[in-house]
Structure 1
Amino acid sequence: MPTNEKIIDDALGRIAAGYVFPERTAEIEGSLRRRLAEGAYDGLDGPTLCRTVTEHLQEVCPDKHLRLLWSDEPLPPARADDEGRAAFLALLRTENQGVRRVEQVDGNIGLIDIRRIADAGEGAAVIGAAMQVVAHTSALVLDLRACRGGAPEGAAMWCSYFFHDDQVHLNDIHDRTTGTTRQFWTAAHLPGPRYTDRPVYALTSATTFSGGEDVAYTLQAHGRAVVVGETTRGGAHPTARHPITAHVLVTVPTARTVSAVTGTNWEGVGVAPDIAVPADRAVDAALEAARAELLRRS
């Protein structure tokens, strides 16, 4: 059984090798090693160690994707990138590509409940089918309150439906490990009808995270959606997951997202709503706003 010191050593090695802001790694390492020398981690069981180290990591570097995590179930061996992607795609298949519910409510308003942001390849048909159901509604609500992440390519596909063509630059992702920058633009071809020139509302909560935040932030920044609900959790960095022991893994942000509109992202601050209400009131608030807007346009 690895000692707590060995777990921290291995985690720091992964952070030093991959963290998206290499200039921060010396400060991170110095902080954890100082606490290690002071005995802050002596005798801590696995779950407590992970919670404590995560708190200390985020004190020195408030990046919500930078974490030490405990798993009660044994973790699978470290996977190659293609194996990790295969596991992610398999999970999405069991969850209907992240689309939990699609419906039409009174006032000819569509509502799509999105729990994960699917891969743009395998998820395209389900996303297109959801958009087909709401194609003739007068306004649309995207419920992202329980959405905790997913694929950047899928976020770009969801956003593409709300613009006329493929000429909108959404954001860029700068990757430290490859030294590359990937641009994300609206898609030229979509498997469902575009939803343009009609009001769109994105619902958020304090647990909306990562890919869910990407959709809300991008549509808000481009003036294409009104965000309703709570400020989101604030995680904008694509992240690698590295098993350290059979039950401990470290998550290391390796890239950063930059909006083509704002020049920044939602890391650490979250997506601030345009209409601030408790998450459990967001549906009603969005429907009220949608009906008022449709009345104004009539």
Structure 2
Amino acid sequence: MTTLTQLLPAPVIDEATRHLTENYVFPEVAEQLADLLRRRLAEGAYDVDTAEELSRLVTEDLQSVNGDRHLRLKYHAEEVPPGRGEAVLASIRGQFEDSLGGVPRLELLDGGVALLELGPMLYPLDWSAEPLGAALTLVSRAQALVLDLRGNKGGDPDAVAYVCAHLLDGRTHLNTMHWRGGTRTEQSWTPSHVPGARFGGSKPLYVLTGPDTFSAAEELAYDLQQLGRAVVVGEVTRGGAHPCEGWTVHPNLEVTVPFGRAVNPVSGTNWEGTGVHPDIPCTAADALTRAHELALAKLAE
């Protein structure tokens, strides 16, 4: 049941700016944004009645300097627990169960082409490894694969690496993460072993994208595209490349702050602000039909 908690904007802004200045990957931008939020608070811009309205106003301000879509004051209709990362885990657990562990659709299309939809997000790997592994093992027998990410709004980078491992032939460098301050980096590789069979790195692979494809789902499409492993079909994605963490700052509000940036080893950059651009542009609604046609034509060669 939804509960109503008194809304006091000042402590929310104080906590949000603290997490922002301590963790945002771009410290100079963090200071600009913190000053902006404090000024707007003093002006009375955040004197609103609901947490949902405060979420909207603060998010607009957080994204006003550099357009980082991972910078948010996120509203949760149900109260969420305190702590780092706890709000999002509490809010997505029901979605995980309702989507069969993030694999809501698996279908064999005409001509030996498999369709695998991953969504509405890529869930934490300690939750999702079993359903993802089962689905990817099953489609490994297909002659071609269409991976549908049109409704996928992000999730766990480890799940991205796990999916990629099934679609490539060997351990592969996907990204290098540059953490706040630029003094520490960490490489992301696919795991060397996966349970079950791999679809592998040679059979035709198509990835569907759309304007709702975001964050870790964009990474999955971008990594496979840059490696030359997949043909991306559909529309340009939303453009959020920075890994982020969330902190509960009110029982119904979570501030999410990016603490690193991804650098792809092939492109030397990422999809932040630009999105992933499809190899075969078409409307998201037509992307499945188009990808299926491409797969059948490729198999007929």
TM-score, normalising length from structure 1? 0.89
Q: Give 2:293's aligned amino acid.
A: E
Q: Distance in 2 between matches of 1:86 and 1:28?
A: 27
8 Å CA contact 2:26, 2:181 repeated in 1: no
Structure-2 residue corresponding to 1:62: 67
Gaps of 5+ in 1: none
| Aligned with residue 250 of structure 1, among 255, 260, 283 | 255
TM-score, normalising length from structure 2? 0.88
Q: Give 2:193's aligned amino acid.
A: H
Structure-1 residue corresponding to 2:270: 265
8 Å CA contact 1:92, 1:118 repeated in 2: no
Structure-1 residue corresponding to 2:147: 142
8 Å CA contact 1:177, 1:254 repeated in 2: no
Q: Distance in 2 between matches of 1:43 and 1:100?
A: 38
Structure-1 residue corresponding to 2:280: 275
Q: Give 1:189's aligned amino acid.
A: H
TM-aligned CA distance change 1:91 to 1:189, over 3 Å: farther
- Deviations 1:166-203, CA, capped at 9 Å, x for gaps: 2x211122333996422122322111322221111101
* 3-state SS of paired residue (2:115): strand
1:214 lines up with 2:232 in the alignment? no
Question: Offset of 1:223 from its aligned partner?
Answer: 0.7
Q: Distance in 1 between matches of 2:112 and 2:47?
A: 60
Alignment of 1:30-45 (within 5 A): 30-43=35-48, 45=50
8 Å CA contact 2:264, 2:270 repeated in 1: yes
* 3-state SS of paired residue (2:111): coil
Q: Distance in 1 between matches of 2:163 and 2:173?
A: 14
Q: Distance in 2 between matches of 1:40 and 1:293?
A: 57
8 Å CA contact 1:243, 1:250 repeated in 2: yes
TM-aligned CA distance change 1:92 to 1:154, over 3 Å: farther
8 Å CA contact 1:170, 1:186 repeated in 2: yes
| Aligned with residue 182 of structure 1, among 183, 186, 190 | 186
Question: Offset of 1:294 from its aligned partner?
Answer: 1.9
8 Å CA contact 1:89, 1:119 repeated in 2: no
8 Å CA contact 2:80, 2:91 repeated in 1: no
> Percent of aligned pairs with the same residue?
43
* 3-state SS of paired residue (1:273): coil
Structure-2 residue corresponding to 1:170: 174
Question: Offset of 1:32 from its aligned partner?
Answer: 2.5
1:75 lines up with 2:80 in the alignment? yes
Q: Distance in 1 between matches of 2:266 and 2:196?
A: 26
Structure-1 residue corresponding to 2:118: 114
Question: Offset of 1:206 from its aligned partner?
Answer: 0.7
* 3-state SS of paired residue (2:101): helix
Q: Give 2:21's aligned amino acid.
A: A
